[in-house]
Amino acid sequence: MKSILLIGLGRFGRHIAMKLNSMNHQIMAIDRSEERVNEVLPFVTNAQIGDSTSEEFLSSLGIRNFDTCIVAIGDNFQNSLETASLLKELGAKKVIARAASGVQEKFLLRNGADEVVYPEKQLAAWVAIRCTSEHILDYIELDEDYSIIELTVPAEWNGKTVGQLDIRRKYGINILGVRKNRALDMNISHDTVLGMENSILVLGQQKAVQKCFHI
């Protein structure tokens, strides 16, 4: 369990709070809007109405005590930039900030953010990949070359073992897990049998995955 400071409680910040709550983390939530703070109260440990660009206000929160500080402000980039910078000045261990463009990402990384998330860009990539094939169920881009993709099992693989398919040798693709009835089994061996009722989680270069699965 980690202690998280979440600043900015719009739709993006609220979804972060809900997910962190489901993972049993301790969350301190901050926003200027009383309405937003009240809406997120069921999902956080504590919440305050305040201005995150105020050094006095942030200092009162004990920034050094949080494992991670998340700046999820989406409607005012200047405030996001000032907040990230102040957090780092006040001794934040780790600052993750939201960006809406590549330029914003660069400025945030230069001014206090240790990591930047770019929701629109990441969602666009997911949608583009997802719509290219009915076989793709989920997609996580690791870098420009490698991805983790969840796909339905091709009909011609039905009843065959991982060893028989040997896609690691043929394509450089690793089968990480098999999902059946929503349960994910990561204990994969050469003798694991694949069925049409399964989906598989694979890791590999995007071009190799496209070639292997005819995407």
Q: Which distant-in-sequence residues (6+ apart) come within 8 Å of 58 by Cβ?
A: 52, 83, 86, 87, 90
Its domain, for residue 131, covers 122-212
Do residues 157 and 89 share a domain? no
| CATH number of the domain within which 171 lies | 3.30.70.1450
Cα–Cα–Cα angle for 113, 115, 118, rounded to 5 degrees: 105
Would you list the DSSP string of 135-162? TEEEEEE-SSSEEEEEEEPPGGGTT-BH
Do residues 12 and 91 share a domain? yes
Boundary (domain end) residue, out of 77, 98, 117:
117
The number of folded domains in the chain is 2
pLDDT tens per residue, range 165-211: 888 888 898 989 898 888 888 888 888 988 888 888 989 888 888 88
Boundary (domain end) residue, out of 58, 83, 117:
117
pLDDT tens per residue, range 128-153: 666 666 678 887 777 778 888 888 88
Beta bridge pairs of residue 146: 205
| CATH number of the domain within which 78 lies | 3.40.50.720
Q: What is the pTM of this model?
A: 0.70
pLDDT tens per residue, range 166-175: 888 888 989 8
Boundary (domain end) residue, out of 88, 117, 146:
117
Which pLDDT score, from 0 to 100, does residue 133 have? Answer: 67
